[in-house]
Amino acid sequence: MACLKDERGQIIIILALFISVLLAELSLVYTQNILAGMESSTTQMTFPKYAIENLRHIALVDLKKYAENNPSGFLEYAKMIDKQITEIYAKKGCYASIDIIDVKYTSSDTISCYTVRITFFNSGVDYEDTEVVVC
């Protein structure tokens, strides 16, 4: 075999190998960035901030309006709302409830205040709060 006196062919092969290794490393970095972005977006989607805010709004604002306008049917309405909330959140794979613990009435049979327990559980967050709502 004859010895190669021209080294340009060897340099081209070495540069091609260097460029292919560089491209492989860049594709790994790009893949890691995509996976990190997907993980952070999934975490943000599953964090129940807005679900808890909605439960608190129902318990502290909507039920208060109903208690002021219709005190005689308040407990039945609250139980119906709690049942619906439990069913809706169960379909999402969570547990949520709004329980009326105590209701205090005035002498004219209007509601002066009630105590509500807001509960939310999913795979990542456990939230439980008890509030006294003054009507």
- pLDDT score at 1: 44
Number of separate domains in the chain: 2
Q: Are residues 18 and 68 in the same domain?
A: no
- pLDDT score at 120: 93
The closest of 119, 81, 112, 116 to 102, measured between CA atoms, is 116
Q: Are residues 74 and 24 in the same domain?
A: no
Q: Are residues 70 and 130 in the same domain?
A: yes
Q: Does residue 1 fall inside a structural domain?
A: no
- pLDDT score at 6: 64
- Find the CATH number of the domain harbouring 67: 3.30.1300
Could you tell me if 103 and 75 are in contact, meaning their C-beta atoms sit under 8 angstroms apart? yes
Burial pattern 32-51, b for ≥16 Cβ within 10 A else e, equals eeeeeeeeeeeeeeeebeeb
- pLDDT score at 131: 87
- Helix ranges, the chain (H): 8-46, 49-57, 63-69, 74-91
Which residues constitute the domain of residue 129?
48-134
Residues in a beta bridge with 104: 113
**pTM above the 0.85 mark?**
no
Query: How is residue 99 written in tokens?
Result: 């329980």
* pLDDT beneath 50, residues of the chain: 1
